[in-house]
Structure 1
Amino acid sequence: MSENTAVITDNSEVILHFDLKLEDGSAADSTRVNNKPAKMVMGDGSLTPNFEACLRGLTQGEKASFTLNADDAFGMPNPDNIYHVDRTKFAADMEVAEGMIIAFAQPDGSELPGVIRSIAGHSVTVDFNHPLAGQTVIFDVEIIDVINS
């Protein structure tokens, strides 16, 4: 390791590839699919404290693997994030099926993805929890670059 290799600290900007897997080994996400590394800023609130703790101390070019339980990854499912929506709220020609992910427009113009959990008559159950909520996940990371300001 050369002396000028940057180490990830509390204020680093990190460019990395990651592969995200579930405990059963199935792939959940990967930056390698489109060969576009992710860019993250330590301490900006977008990463959980435990995820940041796993990255802290890694250096450019280093590879690591770590397992995060649900509380440290995407959290536990919140029952308040499950809604029952009347079928008439969807376009008449829109196919709605269990397991589908549909983007719902928010008042501020952003979109929030919801997973269709069940359909019973005119009632459609939509889950707005993160799709990986409640899951233990395994991150394989490769640090491409570390920029310390």
Structure 2
Amino acid sequence: MTDSVQHDSAVLVHFSLKLEDGSVAESTRANGKPAMFFLGDGSLSEALEKQLLTRKQGDKFAFTLEPEDAFGPTSPDLIQYFSRREFNDAGEPEVGAIMLFSGRGGSEMPGVIREVSGDSITVDFNHPLAGHRVQFDIEVLEIDPVLEASDANSVS
């Protein structure tokens, strides 16, 4: 185990993710299950990794990321319009509902129903936090923890 976070570290953290209005979008403290971040694997934004670098076990800190450094800006290309008949098998779509849609190659993509107007249904495929400034409150619990083989695949 190293004493500070490096470019290729695995970091076990508790974090809260808040929106500009102070509402909590996600918190590992709420369910008591910390998250494992793997620096350098491409899953974290460069700005988030930069905030974690050189931190030590026990560090508690907060910072705010702009949309382009967090979940990206809202893209109008990811807002799609569907005909109501395309929802016949799924039932009546409700504004705010999250539904899974089949993408290319059989993959599934979540989309949020933004508007239902007559025969037209508007679905937003942007990340729900896209376009938002977000505040992270992070506590570093452990750096490069030794994982049991059964835990290595279940912690993300």
For normalisation by structure 1, the TM-score amounts to 0.90
Q: Please report how far the alpha carbon of residue 50 of structure 1 lies from its aligned counterpart in structure 2 after TM superposition.
A: 0.5
Q: Percent of pairs identical after alignment?
A: 48
Task: Identify the match of residue 110 of structure 2 among 106, 109, 113.
Answer: 113
Which of 90, 98, 109 is residue 87 of structure 2 equivalent to? Answer: 90
| Aligned mate of 1:99, from 96, 100, 120 | 96
In 1, Cα distance between equivalents of 2:72 and 2:140: 25
Q: Secondary structure at the match of 1:45?
A: coil
Instruction: Say whether residues 1:42 and 2:39 are aligned partners.
Output: yes
How many angstroms apart in 1 are the aligned matches of 2:61 and 2:88? Answer: 46
The corresponding residue for 1:24 is 21
Greater Cα shift, 91-100 or 58-67 = 91-100
Q: Please give the alpha-carbon distance, in whole angstroms, between the structure 2 residues aligned to 1:99 and 1:53.
A: 34
2:125 is the counterpart of 1:138: no
RMSD of aligned Cα (Å): 1.9
CA distance in 2, matches of 1:128, 1:101: 10
Q: Does the CA-based 8 Å contact 1:6-1:147 persist in structure 2?
A: no
Alpha-carbon distance, 1:92 to partner = 4.5
Matched AA of 2:138: V
Q: List runs of 5+ in structure 1 lacking aligned partners.
A: none
1:124 aligned partner:
121
Secondary structure of the 1:32 match is: helix
Q: CA shift at 1:91, angstroms? A: 3.5
Deviations 1:21-75 (A, max 9, x none): 0111011111122211111110111111011001111111211101001111111
Unaligned runs of 5+ in 2: 147-156
Counterpart-to-counterpart distance in 2, 1:148 and 1:6: 11
In structure 2, how many angstroms separate the alpha carbons of the residues matched to 1:21 and 1:133? 13
Q: Decide whether aligned partners of structure 1 residues 109 and 36 sit closer, same or farther in structure 2, where only a CA change above 3 A counts.
A: farther
Contact 2:80/2:122 (8 A) holds in 1: yes
Q: Which portions of structure 1, spanning 4 or more consecutive aligned residues, are displaced by more than 6 angstroms?
A: none
Structure 2 length-normalised TM: 0.86
Q: What amino acid is aligned across from residue 8 of structure 1 in structure 2?
A: V
The structure whose residues are more often helix, as a share, is 2
Kindly state the Cα deviation for residue 95 of structure 1 after the two structures are TM-superposed: 3.1
